[in-house]
């Protein structure tokens, strides 16, 4: 349950951390370089971010209509458009899980990158590439204000489902029901 709550919190914190890093970079290098760095140099992070939204929307049953990997619009570099399907609890899960997807998928991807860097004897160019991907993904492993707004639509349903699962597994309700 704590892990479930920590993912949205991590996403919100990472959004503010990202803004903080951008402001420092802007002061040190200027607005033009900051824009180029965040929008172009770390573009693989944008791709990872948008594909994460699409993946979790798809896996939860939503219909992904459009994926835009580079469509600069204010703070947003891309977008995923989908429409929900199914009953209301499923639609709520589709909204929340697709909103937190960049953080969730980012944690998984970053863990894989760290594992490969630590456990495999890679040549220097491969190490540099993985470090570049790691930085690109971590800079885009955040929840935009739109993601945060969408996330709140389904969080109560997700917490309720997790609470039921924890309750069933903790008290072994299924085994109890089979005995009687």
Q: How far is CA 107 from the centre of its chain?
A: 8
What is each CA distance from 58 to 94, 108, 141, 149, in whole angstroms? 8, 18, 19, 20
- Domain extent listing, the chain: 2-179
pLDDT at 72: 61
The pLDDT value given to residue 2: 52
Contacts of 53 by beta carbon, 8 Å cutoff, 6+ apart: 80, 98, 99, 101, 102, 147
What does each of the 180 residues of the chain score in pLDDT, given as a tens digit? 455 567 667 777 777 777 888 888 889 888 888 878 877 888 899 899 999 999 999 998 999 998 888 766 655 677 888 888 888 878 888 888 888 888 889 989 999 999 999 988 889 999 999 999 998 998 888 877 778 788 877 777 777 777 777 777 766 655 555 655
Quote the pLDDT of residue 129: 94
pLDDT at 75: 59
CB hemisphere CA count around 87 (13 angstroms): 2
8 Å CB contact between 102 and 143: yes
């Amino acid at each position: 349950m704590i892990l479930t709550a920590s993912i949205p919190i991590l996403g919100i914190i990472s959004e503010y951390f990202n803004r903080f890093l951008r402001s420092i970079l802007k002061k040190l290098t200027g607005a033009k370089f900051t824009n180029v760095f965040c929008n172009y140099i770390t573009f693989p992070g944008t791709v990872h971010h948008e594909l994460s939204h699409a993946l979790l929307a798809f896996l939860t049953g939503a219909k992904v209509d459009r994926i835009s990997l580079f469509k600069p619009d204010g703070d947003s570099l891309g977008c995923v458009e989908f429409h929900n399907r199914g009953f209301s609890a499923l639609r709520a899960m589709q909204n929340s899980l697709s909103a937190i997807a960049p953080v969730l998928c980012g944690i998984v991807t970053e863990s894989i990158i760290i594992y490969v860097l630590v456990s495999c004897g890679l040549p220097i160019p491969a190490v540099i590439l993985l470090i570049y991907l790691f930085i690109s993904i971590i800079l885009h492993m955040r929840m935009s204000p739109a993601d945060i707004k969408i996330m709140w639509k389904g969080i109560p349903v997700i917490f309720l489902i997790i609470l039921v699962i924890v309750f069933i597994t903790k008290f072994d309700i299924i085994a109890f029901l089979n005995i009687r």
